[in-house]
Amino acid sequence: MDRRQRKTREAIFRAFTALLREERCDRITVQQIIDRADIGRTTFYSHFDTKDALLKSLCADIFDHVFSAELDRESAHDFSHDHGTRARITHILCHLQEHLDALNGILSGESGAVFMSFFREKLAELFAPSIPSGTGVPDDYLLNHLVCSFCETVRWWTKHTQYAPEEVSAFFFGTMPGWRENDA
């Protein structure tokens, strides 16, 4: 990709995440992004069709980073495939930590739904194989509960950034019935 393109794209992302830290997503105008990124109006629209598309790209970027790094790690260490949901979770939290301040902006206000729907989808895949059985609750409900609890844990974390990933992971598992410390 052309260096100019890369620079512009980065400038847009930087401007957008900076604005997200200050204001609710739906209050941010394209003009503000353009001004902050110091680019031309036409340029913005040549990169992203709409502000929504920008938000989705941003989310996709974060997820690519967070989840692909997670998968890499998994295939690198070879005692993988089932060395515990907990280790995975903790690692996802580690990667998310790098984006915590941007996430705070993304999650507050109305834009949260976009991120959350992405996030839910990814997590559902991750959790589906390891839902505990024999709880007397529909699997459907239980999976939703796990996914949502984790999402909300992350949301909570963006407001209480003093905790380390391992602690947050411990909190999460502390409220999850039927899961062992290391469910191998």
Q: Contact between 181 and a second copy (CB under 8 A)?
A: no
Q: Is 53 exposed, middle or buried (0-12, 13-18, 19+ CB in 10 A)?
A: exposed
Among 51, 153, 165, 183, binds a second copy (CB under 8 A): 153
DSSP 98: T
CA separation for the pair 147, 73 (Å, rounded): 22
CA separation for the pair 1, 94 (Å, rounded): 29
Q: Contact between 156 and a second copy (CB under 8 A)?
A: yes
* Binding residues with a second copy: total (CB under 8 A): 28
Given a contact cutoff of 8 angstroms between Cβ atoms, the answer to whether 84 and 183 are in contact is yes
113 contact choice in DNA, a second copy, none (CB below 5 to 8 Å, kind-dependent): a second copy
39 contact choice in a second copy, DNA, none (CB below 5 to 8 Å, kind-dependent): DNA
Per-residue binder mask for DNA (CB under 7 A), 6-45, x = binder? -xx--------------------xxx------xxxxxx-x
Q: What is the footprint of DNA within residues 97-126 (CB under 7 A)?
A: none
Given a contact cutoff of 8 angstroms between Cβ atoms, the answer to whether 95 and 70 are in contact is yes
DSSP 27: G
Maximum alpha-carbon separation in the chain: 59
CA separation for the pair 88, 71 (Å, rounded): 9
Q: What is the footprint of a second copy within residues 8-47 (CB under 8 A)?
A: 26
Sites of contact with DNA (CB under 7 A): 2-5, 7-8, 29-31, 38-43, 45-47, 49-51
Sites of contact with a second copy (CB under 8 A): 26, 109-114, 135-138, 140-142, 144-145, 148-149, 152-153, 156, 160, 170-171, 174-177
